[in-house]
Amino acid sequence: MSHRISRRQFVKGLGLAAGIAGFPTIIPASALGKAGRPAPSDRIVMGFIGLGSMGTGNLHGFISKPEVQVVAVCDVNREGTNYAGNSPMGREPARLFVENYYAGKEDSGKYEGCAAYEDFREILAREDIDAMCLALPDHWHAYMAIATAEAGKDMYSEKPLARTIYEGKKMVEAIRKYDRVFQTGSQQRSDGNFRHACELARNGYLGEIQKVYARVGGISRPCTLGAAPVPDGFNMEMWLGNAPEAPYHPERVSGGYNTEGGTWRSWREYSAGHISDWGAHNFDIAQWGLGMDHSGPVEVIHPEGSDYEDLTFIYANGVPVIKTVGPHMGMVQFIGSEGWVGVDRGNIWASDPKLLEVKLKPNEIHLYDSVDHRQDFLDCVKKRHRPIADVEIGYRSLTVCLLGEIALRLGRSLKWDPEREEFVDDPEASELLTRPMRAPFQV
């Protein structure tokens, strides 16, 4: 991976050694150091790479935290509406938002302290940044996270963890090697309803778990879009990165949430589709409730020719996780021999309402309690702890998603060894554990 070692040389060649050029020219002595905010020396200095829909949302969420100081943003898009929705997104709208936000807290009403970059190597070379927020198309996730770890920065990175199982595994290795704090953006783990449902399942309140339903959709398909004029200020080559060469088209780069067409989430070159976009949420909760955060299924059963109603993941204990809507309420449903619980964003249901009022005893399994996913990341940066959705947890949930993608692409069932992290005697499936990646952004 020596191609990343030249990053600082690249920056120096631009006259930006250590990111000095392009730094904010005016940082008020107060630096927003007013009542309710930590001293500048106690703040977590953050940068943001990827300012589309999720990146913009994360920026708004993090900047409101008193201990955060945002100093830099980066995006291949200068500005425009070609990501998602009608609001202008990209590095310039993000920079202006940051400076206006902080200016509103200054007596002078002025603030200039946020730099904007097109090339991520420049922002990663800045030695003043403690942590990064990464919100990019899936095919960029692994390379960017590894580069960020090598730069010595902690990171909050959007789900799904990576585009392939191989890339996810390399991310785990890099985060551990460089001892970085990594939070996967699977924020349902920081929701009390999901935690309670998993605690009911883990502690036997539903009896023996017989099956789990996770409402997740299908897979992406190859992109066949033609070419369209490249908007001014949009670096298409950098957007593609390690993905195959392709022309600009607004429906290729759109960050909208439709996985059936018209957005990068629809296309195989950049995403596995709904199975990973929402599987990173709902399969993740299934794994949590089954106590499988460091393991995974041993078999993936294709529905064609089987007795299962949809794609099904079988675990070593015999419990199936079925990729479909369950018989009760909730995106995720745990069905036990003595009851059931279903959970959704904002709601939780159970076979007996008393289950929803259960207070765990001290000797029972108490799962990691987080009420704010971003705050949990910041707390772990300060304490040097692993957060609720640590990189390995994100990797194991990603594995479920992509095992499903591979089974659906091949049209057949698969056997998987979660200990060795490989298919059992299946060279054809093993070829899909990775993908060709264009230089120089290879993992």
Q: Given a cut of 80, is residue 7 above it in pLDDT?
A: no
pLDDT band with cut points at 50, 70 and 90 for residue 86: low
Gap between the Cα atoms of 387 and 154, Å rounded: 11
Q: Given a cut of 80, is residue 34 above it in pLDDT?
A: no
Task: Check whether residue 331 and residue 428 sit in a common domain.
Answer: yes
pLDDT tens column, 100-114: 999 999 989 999 999
Q: How many domains does the chain have?
A: 2
Q: How many C-beta neighbours within 10 Å does residue 242 have?
A: 19
Q: Given a cut of 70, is residue 25 above it in pLDDT?
A: no
Q: Given a cut of 90, is residue 3 above it in pLDDT?
A: no
Higher pLDDT, 6 or 117: 117
> Is 15 inside any structural domain?
yes
Q: Given a cut of 80, is residue 6 above it in pLDDT?
A: no
Query: Which amino acid is present at 263?
Result: T
Question: In the structure encoding, which two tokens stand for residue 340, read together?
Answer: 């059931």
Task: Check whether residue 127 and residue 210 sit in a common domain.
Answer: no
Q: Given a cut of 80, is residue 56 above it in pLDDT?
A: yes
> Is 228 inside any structural domain?
no
Task: Check whether residue 56 and residue 117 sit in a common domain.
Answer: yes
Q: Given a cut of 80, is residue 263 above it in pLDDT?
A: yes
pLDDT tens column, 406-440: 999 999 999 999 999 999 999 999 999 999 999 99
Gap between the Cα atoms of 103 and 111, Å rounded: 5
Q: Given a cut of 60, is residue 26 above it in pLDDT?
A: no
Query: 47 near 72, Cβ under 8 Å?
Result: yes
* CATH number of the domain to which 77 belongs: 3.40.50
Q: Given a cut of 70, is residue 22 above it in pLDDT?
A: no
Closest by Cα among 166, 220, 193 to 332: 193
> Is 233 inside any structural domain?
no
Closest by Cα among 145, 92, 127 to 8: 127
pLDDT band with cut points at 50, 70 and 90 for residue 85: low
Task: Check whether residue 210 and residue 121 sit in a common domain.
Answer: no
E strands, 118-173, are 131-134, 154-157
Buried/exposed 200-224: b ≥16 CB within 10 Å, e otherwise: bbbbebbeebebbbbbbebbbeebe
CA distances from 209 to 290, 326, 335 (A): 8, 14, 6
Kindly state the average pLDDT of the residues 399-404. 98
> Is 416 inside any structural domain?
yes
Task: Check whether residue 55 and residue 128 sit in a common domain.
Answer: yes
Question: In the structure encoding, which two tokens stand for residue 111, read together?
Answer: 């603030």
Task: Check whether residue 80 and residue 214 sit in a common domain.
Answer: no
Query: 422 near 430, Cβ under 8 Å?
Result: yes
> Is 18 inside any structural domain?
yes
pLDDT mean across residues, the chain: 92
pTM of the predicted model, to two decimals?
0.91
Kindly state the average pLDDT of the residues 254-279. 95
164 by Cβ neighbours in 10 Å (0-12 / 13-18 / 19+) ranks as buried
**Residue span of the structural domain in which 23 resides:** 2-135
> Is 151 inside any structural domain?
no
Give the per-residue pLDDT at 305: 85
Most confident of the following: 1-5, 17-21, 39-43, 378-382: 378-382
Task: Check whether residue 116 and residue 203 sit in a common domain.
Answer: no
Gap between the Cα atoms of 199 and 291, Å rounded: 10
Give the domain-ending residue among 116, 135, 154: 135
Task: Check whether residue 49 and residue 125 sit in a common domain.
Answer: yes
pLDDT band with cut points at 50, 70 and 90 for residue 52: very high
Give the domain-ending residue among 135, 159, 179: 135
Task: Check whether residue 196 and residue 122 sit in a common domain.
Answer: no
Kindly state the average pLDDT of the residues 155-172. 98
- DSSP string across 66-104: TTEEEEEEE-SB-SBSSSSSSS-BSHHHHHHHHHHHHHT
Task: Check whether residue 199 and residue 114 sit in a common domain.
Answer: no
Give the per-residue pLDDT at 339: 98
Task: Check whether residue 71 and residue 212 sit in a common domain.
Answer: no
Gap between the Cα atoms of 401 and 387, Å rounded: 21
283 by Cβ neighbours in 10 Å (0-12 / 13-18 / 19+) ranks as buried
> Is 168 inside any structural domain?
no
The rounded Cα 274 to chain-centroid distance in angstroms is 14
- DSSP string across 250-303: HHHH---S-SSSSSGGGBTTT---HHHHTHHHHHHHHHHHHT-TT---SEEE-S
Kindly state the average pLDDT of the residues 184-193. 98
Query: 376 near 254, Cβ under 8 Å?
Result: no
**R_g (Cα) of the chain, nearest Å:** 22
Buried/exposed 349-360: b ≥16 CB within 10 Å, e otherwise: bbeeeebeeeee
Mean pLDDT lowest for which of 10-24, 53-67, 309-323?
10-24
Give the domain-ending residue among 92, 111, 135: 135
Kindly state the average pLDDT of the residues 213-233. 96
* CATH number of the domain to which 345 belongs: 3.30.360.10
Question: In the structure encoding, which two tokens stand for residue 321, read together?
Answer: 């996780």
Give the per-residue pLDDT at 37: 74
Gap between the Cα atoms of 150 and 20, Å rounded: 19
Closest by Cα among 299, 334, 333, 303 to 314: 299
Higher pLDDT, 107 or 13: 107
pLDDT tens column, 273-314: 999 999 999 999 999 999 999 999 999 999 998 889 999 999
Q: Given a cut of 60, is residue 155 above it in pLDDT?
A: yes
> Is 229 inside any structural domain?
no
Task: Check whether residue 313 and residue 426 sit in a common domain.
Answer: yes
